Amino acid sequence: MNDDGATPGAYNTPITLNIVAAGNGWWVNTGPNPSEIATYIFLDAEEHPELLELPRLSAGADWSAAAEWLADGARIRVNITGPVQTTLDVQVGGPGLEAVRHARLLYICPTTPELGLSPYLARDRSFAVRLPRLRDA
């Protein structure tokens, strides 16, 4: 574990992003468990417009994204490999973010003020990561 509590192997200096909106929704699919509650987070990517491409890139066979809680329990680190290699640090502090602290399946939606927030944006322009259980959640 590194000084910040992350597993070694991050690909570069993490890009720190803030959550501008979060909430729970149903993600419907097929299979033995046809639906489950998913938590969506909208991240302010205005200063990093290249992150808007991540949902499209996540459909590729060479895409991988792994999430972990950092030791302070106030940030999630997402290591992304594939056509791009980047590391995101997502601040998870403040009121209204309990859903994120309890999430196991997290849909990440980079956005900008121009794109805004909407259920359609979450559905069409997000990528999913599995999130391990937070110790105190």
pLDDT (0 to 100) of residue 122: 83
What tokens appear for 103 in the block? 């999430």
DSSP 50: G
Mean local confidence (pLDDT), 30-35: 56
Q: What's phi and psi for 9, nearest 5 deg?
A: 115, 10
| Confidence category of residue 69, pLDDT binned at 50, 70, 90 | very high
Residues 6+ apart with CB under 8 A from 26: 35, 36, 37, 38
* The pLDDT value given to residue 2: 46
Name the pLDDT band for 78 (thresholds 50, 70, 90). very high
pLDDT at 33 over 70: no
41: which 2 tokens? Answer: 């987070």
pTM for the full predicted model: 0.82
Predicted local distance difference test score (pLDDT) of residue 30: 55
pLDDT confidence of residue 27: 58
